[in-house]
Amino acid sequence: MEMRGKVAVVTGSSAGVGRATAERLAALGAKVVVNYAHSEADAEATVAAIRQAGGTAHACRADVRSDADCRALIQSAVDAYGGLHVLVNNAGMTRFIPHAELDLVTDEVWDEILSANVRGTFNCTRAAAPHMRAAGEGAVVNVASVAGLGGGGSSIPYAASKSAIITMTKSLARVLGPEIRVNCIAPGFIDGRWLRGGLGERYAQARDAAAQRAPLRAVATPDSCADAILALIQYSTHITGQTVVVDGGASL
């Protein structure tokens, strides 16, 4: 898919993988909606960086746990730019809970994580699909995690939610083709503030251990994840329903 003139929504794009993806799409000529739920200042900084580089973007607050918000987010892209071609479902959340601490996994934890990660991905895709079909083409990329493949990660509900995204990617690819391709990336350890905040003083040791396990001797970054997302959008035009692992080979 040629990006120039296309319209893209990237959920959770005020920082990290989402921001790197939004900036990359804009640099290729797409008009981008930068989504945030809480970090308005970060979202506006992302928009400012895109505009300063010559791109087109605006910020839109939407909590993907709300179907109404998801629909409004998609509609903001259509209203501003006349259509929709690309959706990157990056927004998500977790709780850092040791897997053995089963009693700490409350109903509230399940509801928070599943509503953001699973329901949000579904609701945004459902809202986007009619507009992509009207455009005659569309590409959706979901952001999962290697936790969804191996059952590891920050908590059991997080791993379950990412596994659901991987499975849902296949289901949506079946029903949204041929106009719309739906794929997924599953990053491993991502160097950045999200894990730094969650792991605290254990961060550097965990990052270095993950890098040492990987044949490429490095962990993922927001930019390397954005590279994989853009490859699925731009070049992989005969691929749908697939999950690309972005972990330097650590899960081999």
Q: Which residues are catalytic?
A: 158
Euclidean distance between CA atoms 22 and 10, whole angstroms: 6
Q: Is 182 helix (H, G, I), strand (E, B) or coil?
A: strand
CA 155/CA 55 separation, integer angstroms? 38
Structure tokens at 1: 């898919």
Locate 185 and state its tokens.
Answer: 């990336």
Q: Are 237 and 1 in contact (CB under 8 A)?
A: yes
Read off the tokens for 152: 């590891």
The DSSP-derived string for 185-211 is: EEE-SB-SHHHHHHHGGGHHHHHHHHH
The two tokens of residue 133 are: 């079909």
d(CA 218, CA 164): 27
Question: What b-and-e string marks burial along 206-227, b requiring 16 or more CB atoms within 10 Å of the CB?
Answer: ebeebbebbeeebbbbbebbbb
Report yes or no: 184 and 242 within 8 Å, Cβ to Cβ.
yes
